[in-house]
Amino acid sequence: MKIRSIVFLGLLGFCFQSLKSQSNPEGKFTDPPSSGIIARSLIDSFLDSTYTWIEAENNGGYTVSWRYTIESYSTLINGKEYYQVLRADKEFSKNWTGTGHYIRYENNIIYTPWLDAEAEVINFNLEVGDTFSVIPPQFDVKLVVDKIDTVTLLDGEPRKRWQLRCSWDDDPPLVFGYTQWIEGIGNIDGLFATDYMCVFDAPSNYILCLYKDSTILYDSPDYNTCWDETASLNTFTKLHLKLVPNPAYGRITIMNLEDPFRSIAIYDLSGNLRFRGDAASIAIDHFVPGFYVLAIFFENGTTAVQTFIKD
C-alpha cells in the first residue's frame, strides 16, 4: 500500500506561495521559446523544460490525470531563481498553464518557496536511517530512509532509488507502505508529493509516465497506461483496422484510422508499454523481434487493438 498523499502539484495551493510568473502575469503558457534556450538543469540528471510527465490523482471515486513540465525560464523569488511547474489537461496538449508552484535545485536538494524562506521537497543526499521533514513543517511529520538501491529506466540508464516510510509506521511499514524517490524523476507518488504525507483519507497520487522530449524514460510498473484509461489488454474491443506492413521491421502504419483518437500505445506480450504517442506511423526499428499489441484509445472512450510481428 503506497503512502497516501496530496500531491505537491495539486489543489493545496494555500500551502505554498501561489505566484504568477513575473514575465507572464496571466499564467498562460505555450511551447517553450524556439530560440534554443531551455531551462538550466535542476540537477545533472533531473528535470528541465525538455521533460514532461503524466501524473494521476485518485480521490476514491474518480481519477484525474495531468501533464506537467518545467518552465523554460526562471523567476526570482526571495532573492533566488526558481522554475515554475506547468500543467496541461490533455495527454499530448502543449497548452501549458502555470500552477503557481516553483522549484529550484542546489547541492542535490530540491527546494520550493515557503513563507519568507524555502522548504525541502526532496533531498538526494540522504542515507539509510536519515529522516526527512515533510511539508508543512509545523505538522512535524517525518519520513525515514529504510533502503537505497538502483532501478533502470527504459533507456537502460541506472538511477538511484530511495525508499522511505512514515517514522511512526512499522519497519517494514504496514500502514502506509513505502514512498519512493528516483534520482532524476522525483517522488513516484506524485513528482513533488511531500506535503501531507502519512495522512489517512488523503487522495493518492502516482507518476504514470515520464518523457525526455518524445522518448519515454519511465513507465509505472503498476499501470498499463500513461493516462487515465484503465482497460486491460484482454478487455480491448477489436475493430477492423489494418497494420502495414505486418510483419514489420522499421516502421508500422495504421490504415483505416478514421475516428478521432486520443493516443496510441504498443505493448509487448508481457504487458510492458513500449510506445505511447499520437502518430499513426510508428518507428519500431529499436523493438526486439516478436509479437506486439497495438492499442488505440478513441475520443469516445472505446479502445481498439491489433497485433503485429516485429521481424
Average pLDDT over residues 180-191: 85
With the CA atoms of 146, 151, 153 and 157 taken in that order, what torsion angle do they form, in degrees rounded to the nearest 10?
120
Top-confidence residue, 33 or 99 = 99
Residue written as grid cell 522525483: 186
Top-confidence residue, 130 or 1 = 130
Residue written as grid cell 511512526: 168
Q: What is the pLDDT of residues 230-254, one digit of tens each?
A: 433 333 444 457 889 988 989 999 9
Top-confidence residue, 297 or 187 = 187
Q: What is the 3-state secondary structure (H, E, C) of the chain?
A: CCCCCCCCCCCCHHHCCCCCECCECCCECCCCCCCCCCCCCCCCCCCCCCEEEEEEEECCCCEEEEEEEEEEEEEEECCEEEEEEEEECCCCCCCCEEEEEEEEEECCEEEEEECCEEEEEEECCCCCCCEEECECHHHCCEEEEEEEEEEECCCCCEEEEEEEEECCCCCCCCCCCCEEEECCCEECCCCCCCECCCCCCCCEEEEEEEEECCEEEEECCCCCCCCCCCCCHHHCCCCCCEEECCCECCEEEEECCCCCEEEEEEEECCCCEEEEECCCEEECCCCCCEEEEEEEEECCCCEEEEEEEEC
Q: How far apart are CA 151 and CA 278, in angstroms?
A: 28
Kindly tell me the burial class for residue 297, based on how many C-beta atoms sit within 10 Å of its own C-beta (0-12, 13-18, 19 or more): buried
Q: What is the 3-state secondary structure (H, E, C) of 70-101?
A: EEEEEEEECCEEEEEEEEECCCCCCCCEEEEE
- Other Cβ atoms closer than 10 A to 256: 10
Confidence label for 270 from pLDDT (cuts 50, 70 and 90): low
In this prediction, residue 42 carries a pLDDT of: 40
Q: How far apart are CA 156 and CA 148, in angstroms?
A: 19
Hey, what amino acid is at 22? Q
Q: What is the pLDDT of residues 18-50, one digit of tens each?
A: 333 333 433 333 333 332 233 333 434 467 888
Average pLDDT over residues 122-151: 88
215 neighbors 70 (Cβ within 8 angstroms): no
> Domains of the chain, with CATH numbers?
13-219 (no CATH), 233-310 (2.60.40.1930)
In this prediction, residue 269 carries a pLDDT of: 67
Question: For the ranges 1-10, 86-95, 204-213, 246-255, which has the lowest average pLDDT?
Answer: 1-10
In this prediction, residue 293 carries a pLDDT of: 80
Evaluate if residue 79 carries a pLDDT over 80: yes
Question: Any bridge partners for residue 105, and if so which?
Answer: 110
Q: How far apart are CA 88 and CA 94, in angstroms?
A: 7
In this prediction, residue 242 carries a pLDDT of: 82
C-alpha cell at 148: 537505497
254 neighbors 243 (Cβ within 8 angstroms): yes
